[in-house]
Amino acid sequence: MTPNWVGQEELVTPSWVGQEELVGSGASVTARSVTGMLPSLMDAATVSVSVTPRDETDSSTEDSSPVFELRDVNVFYGKAHAVRDVSIDLTHNRITALIGPSGCGKSTLLRCLNRTNDLIPGARVEGVITYHGLNILADTIDVIELRRRIGMVFQKPNPFPKSIFDNVAFGPKVTGMKLVGRSGMADWVEECLRKAALWDEVKDKLKESGLSLSGGQQQRLCIARAIAVKPDVILMDEPCSSLDPIATARIEELMVELRAEFTIVIVTHNMQQAARVSDRTAFFTAEVQPDGSRQGVLVEEGPTYQLFTTPRERRTEEYITGRFG
Ligand SMILES: Nc1ncnc2c1ncn2[C@@H]1O[C@H](COP(=O)(O)OP(=O)(O)OP(=O)(O)O)[C@@H](O)[C@H]1O
Ligand SMILES: [Mg+2]
């Protein structure tokens, strides 16, 4: 059976799509479970909730199914070949960290996962990317619905210029999410703020602007906003790079907690962060071509502990030991 979000004409793009801060913030699903959201994909989306420790006992992904399978993915910006031949699986209920030097295509690849590169004029993605078994590069995919399922948190916290409450309630409202009971929305906003480890700090000032919060609080508000629409996957592009170490620690703790419920892909420049929070790590680099241009390639991917202790590739070792990049 074809899922109800495939095969529809490209939706009329709501006015809020295309604004970076809103991408991935909407959803119309009413059930939390992956299987509930993707009834036709139940087999592909077998849920594993076991937690893999990030140490040498890491059992890798043997018990976990891929959410995304990328095969020979190439990304171009006009004539520039930014990402070359990337093949990788991204696993359910795991945190995968994408690391590598500036310009190697981490953000570009992340954007492929919910097709936000479509919003960049001249960007073109080739290859195969499946999400729960569906080729999301197909013309028939409803990209708006795809982005509802695959939320995004950006480098710079970007709350809407709305109240704390409305920041969280916005996505569920615009997508008509069904919430039970008179205080359904209030309860849901509270639950999301609790999940984002922000409730205690904001419960007495829900009507105040989201912009009045500190940077770390704003980022947790953005995470609450992202999870408010019950996504399946959360993409995070350097979510802590503008935060201080205390706020960073809060977000890292939060990521580890959220992993039980969501699949998380995080781009980070901070290798300690990748080592601390992720289950698997993918190292990318930018290869210089004869004409001087650079193409991002995947050097290796594996359990985080293995990649940081016994990398297979010399380039990975040089990068993680600080000799390169
Ligand atoms: N919107 C765009 N238009 C044209 N080229 C782009 C665009 N975004 C990225 N690129 C190019 O694609 C390549 C990969 O960029 P990308 O931003 O994905 O790298 P990155 O690994 O995320 O880098 P950083 O760590 O600095 O954020 C770079 O050469 C970059 O100049
Ligand atoms: Mg980037």
> According to the 3-state scheme, what is the secondary structure of 109-134?
HHHHCCCHHHHCCCEEEEEEEEECCE
How much is the pLDDT for 65?
Answer: 82
Closest residue (by CA) to atom 14 of ligand 1? 105
Closest residue (by CA) to atom 28 of ligand 1? 103
- pLDDT tens per residue across span 240-257: 988 888 889 989 999 999
Q: Tokens representing 302?
A: 């594996």
Specify the DSSP class assigned to residue 163. Answer: B
Per domain, the residue ranges of the chain are: 64-320
Closest residue (by CA) to atom 25 of ligand 1? 102
Closest residue (by CA) to atom 9 of ligand 1? 108
Give me Rg for the CA atoms of the chain: 19
Ligand 1 atom nearest residue 284's Cα: 21
Q: Which ligand is the nearest neighbour of the Cα of 119?
A: 1
Cα 162 to ligand 1 centre (Å): 31
Alpha carbon distance 54, 59 (integer Å): 9
**Kind of pairing, strands 66-77 and 123-131?**
antiparallel
Q: Give yes or no for a contact between 265 and 113, defined as CB atoms under 8 angstroms apart.
A: yes
Cα 103 to ligand 1 centre (Å): 5
Helices and strands per DSSP (H, E), number in the chain: 11, 10
99 membership: H or E segment, kind and range: strand 95-99
Pocket of ligand 1 (CB under 6 A): 77, 80, 82, 102-108, 120, 294, 296
pTM of the full predicted structure?
0.82
Cα 182 to ligand 1 centre (Å): 46
Cα 101 to ligand 2 centre (Å): 9
Alpha carbon distance 262, 294 (integer Å): 33
How much is the pLDDT for 179?
Answer: 82
How much is the pLDDT for 9?
Answer: 31
87 membership: H or E segment, kind and range: strand 80-91
For a substitution probing ligand 1, which of 76, 84, 107, 236 has the most ligand atoms within 8 Å of its CB? 107
Cα 192 to ligand 1 centre (Å): 32
Query: Is the CA virtual torsion 60, 66, 68, 73 positive or negative?
Result: positive
How much is the pLDDT for 175?
Answer: 86
Alpha carbon distance 265, 237 (integer Å): 8
Query: What is 64-320's CATH number?
Result: 3.40.50.300
How much is the pLDDT for 176?
Answer: 84
pLDDT beneath 50: ranges in the chain: 1-4, 6-53, 56-61
Work out the number of other CB atoms within 10 angstroms of the CB of residue 266: 28
Cα 268 to ligand 2 centre (Å): 8
Q: For the purposes of burial, counting CB atoms within 10 Å of the CB of 69, is it exposed (0-12), middle (13-18) or buried (19 or more)?
A: middle
Closest residue (by CA) to atom 16 of ligand 1? 105
How much is the pLDDT for 13?
Answer: 29
- pLDDT tens per residue across span 9-24: 332 223 232 233 333 3
How much is the pLDDT for 201?
Answer: 95
Alpha carbon distance 223, 274 (integer Å): 18
